[in-house]
Structure 1
Amino acid sequence: MIKQNQLIFKQFLTDVEEWCLDILTNNQSNLNEHRNSWLQEARGILRRVQNVGQSEYIYETEILDIKKCVEEVADGMRMISVRRVNSGRVPIGQHTLPPLPYPYNALEPYISRDIMELHHLKHHKSYVDGLNKAEMKMLEARETGDYDLIKHWEREAAFHGSGHYLHTMFWDNMSPNGGGQPSGRLLQQIILDFGSYEKFKKHFSEAADKVEGVGWALLVWSPRAQRLEILQTEKQQLFTQWDTIPLLGLDVWEHAYYLQYKNNRKDYIDKWWNLVNWKDVEKRYQEASRLKWKPY
């Protein structure tokens, strides 16, 4: 039992080390006093993790304290992201990969560390890079007046931009402490629009399972209809409904689950409900539902 715990602790330290390196690597632009402060904290955690990892025996109290420090840094970096959004626009071609609000192994056993690491560092990063490139190419077209390739770059912006924005929501839509049911106004709205939470969950799960090829299932707010709706989107931008605001998204591209669930998408969907961060969804709903168009 002691040996098993030591192996678990060592894996945790490895995951935290990778998380710290990711934070430090992907947050070197747009530095300010607050961001620098949290990056210093991340460097401190990294040094501590590396030192503890060299010990012959790792104490549980040490692990719990490191976990608390990681949560504090994650919360701090998340608040910086919120302030950045509130302070103004993202300059053209300067989108950045958001840090995960938890270590890569935090969603186990439902989503493995390997999947999360690959999904975030490779797939999401590629969407950020693709969006930035498309935006710069369209800027170049405006400056030169050469629009010969505008169709291509508009498509690239749609695909990569949708991928970046949906994944940014997706990470926050999940939590190691997720699961259960929503509450308050969101639950009331779900019951009003779908009949019951159980009917909503069944509809959402079936929509996700039956996405043709690769894509997403989405719970959205419709300002025009002034109600919640469940939509599919193929890839990230096709065959869906415009003038809606995503609140909850489930990625059913194979890279989101295949390493762990193989071709059993349904099992992945069923397990994913244990991770849903209803606090985040409720917050998005409260903000989105303020927007109401004239109904038709």
Structure 2
Amino acid sequence: MPFTLPPLPYADDALAPHISAQTLHFHHGKHHKAYVDKANELITGTPLAQLSAVEVIRRARADGNDKLFNNAAQAWNHEFLWQSMMPGGGGAPSGALKAAIDTDLGGMEKFAENFKTAAVGQFGSGWAWLVRDGGALKIVTTHDADTPIAHTRQTPLLTLDVWEHAYYLDWQNARPDYVGAFLGELVNWDFASANFADETRLAA
């Protein structure tokens, strides 16, 4: 099956106090697992079971299969989310990604300001992303399960989940503080830089 629930790339309590072990237990072990299980259930016994996760997501979108798209995309988005964070993260990237942020997004301070504005301003459930779109970096948001990999010009570099279940146990309604903690303490710039250097790694 193309969808799996890999273990978190760190211990449940590794992102505390910014994201608690309790949040990760429910978010990864319950929410993410439910999306994986449902996506696989929906494609069992069909030709889609032989495709990659990205191919399933794009096929479901093209076919207007909202139930499959929502579960498959959420399974993929969450796996990408866990890698977008790390203990002792934050700060700034170096090398080519930093140069691109300076050129395309006005530098790190401006990037952080605009990413936070986008994430906090996303109405209802959704995601905030740093993507490469047609050769340039952009900050985009997606609603509910939508994902940049369904938009073939966009290559995601990092993401933040702004569904309430991602932060409410720890931050209640203080979404700005949650986003600030992500940018200042958790964002995994090594992961984003690897995606920037080799966007083909997300093609399958």
1:271 equivalent to 2:181? Answer yes
Bigger RCO of structures 1 and 2 (CA < 8 A, at least 6 apart): 2
What 5-or-longer segments of structure 1 have no aligned partner?
Answer: 1-92, 141-149, 292-296
1:210 equivalent to 2:118? Answer no
Aligned pairs for 1:105-184 (under 5 A) are: 105-136=13-44, 138-139=46-47, 154-184=65-95
Q: Which residue of 2 aligns with 1:29?
A: none
1:238 Cα offset (Å) = 7.4
For 2:149 and 2:28, locate their aligned partners in 1 and report how far apart those are by CA, in whole Å: 24
Pair 203,209 (structure 1): closer, same or farther in 2 beyond 3 Å: same
Q: Which residue of 2 aligns with 1:252?
A: 162
Q: Which residue of 2 aligns with 1:229?
A: 138
Please say if residues 231 and 240 of structure 1, whose CA atoms lie closer than 8 Å, have aligned partners that are also in contact: no
Please say if residues 102 and 108 of structure 2, whose CA atoms lie closer than 8 Å, have aligned partners that are also in contact: yes
For 1:254 and 1:184, locate their aligned partners in 2 and report how far apart those are by CA, in whole Å: 34
CA deviations over 1:196-241 (Å, ceiling 9, x no partner) = 111111111111001111000011112xx21111111010117998
Secondary structure of the residue aligned to 2:160 is: strand
Please say if residues 148 and 155 of structure 2, whose CA atoms lie closer than 8 Å, have aligned partners that are also in contact: no
Please say if residues 232 and 240 of structure 1, whose CA atoms lie closer than 8 Å, have aligned partners that are also in contact: no
Secondary structure of the residue aligned to 1:156 is: helix
Using structure 1 for the length normalisation, give the TM-score: 0.59
Please say if residues 170 and 249 of structure 1, whose CA atoms lie closer than 8 Å, have aligned partners that are also in contact: yes
Q: Which residue of 2 aligns with 1:261?
A: 171
For 1:138 and 1:204, locate their aligned partners in 2 and report how far apart those are by CA, in whole Å: 39
For 2:102 and 2:40, locate their aligned partners in 1 and report how far apart those are by CA, in whole Å: 40
For 1:166 and 1:131, locate their aligned partners in 2 and report how far apart those are by CA, in whole Å: 13
Pair 238,281 (structure 1): closer, same or farther in 2 beyond 3 Å: closer
Q: Which residue of 2 aligns with 1:288?
A: 199
For 1:169 and 1:204, locate their aligned partners in 2 and report how far apart those are by CA, in whole Å: 17
Amino acid at match of 1:100: L
Secondary structure of the residue aligned to 1:236 is: coil
- Structure having the higher Rg: 1
RMSD of aligned residue pairs (Cα, Å): 2.5
Amino acid at match of 1:255: H
For 1:275 and 1:105, locate their aligned partners in 2 and report how far apart those are by CA, in whole Å: 13
CA deviations over 1:272-292 (Å, ceiling 9, x no partner) = 12101111110111111899x
Q: Tell me the matched-pair count.
A: 188
Pair 167,238 (structure 1): closer, same or farther in 2 beyond 3 Å: closer
Pair 285,133 (structure 1): closer, same or farther in 2 beyond 3 Å: same
Q: Which residue of 2 aligns with 1:97?
A: 5
Please say if residues 195 and 201 of structure 2, whose CA atoms lie closer than 8 Å, have aligned partners that are also in contact: no
For 1:190 and 1:285, locate their aligned partners in 2 and report how far apart those are by CA, in whole Å: 11
Q: Quick one: which of 169, 173, 191 aligns to 2:102?
A: 191
For 1:228 and 1:154, locate their aligned partners in 2 and report how far apart those are by CA, in whole Å: 30
For 2:137 and 2:189, locate their aligned partners in 1 and report how far apart those are by CA, in whole Å: 15
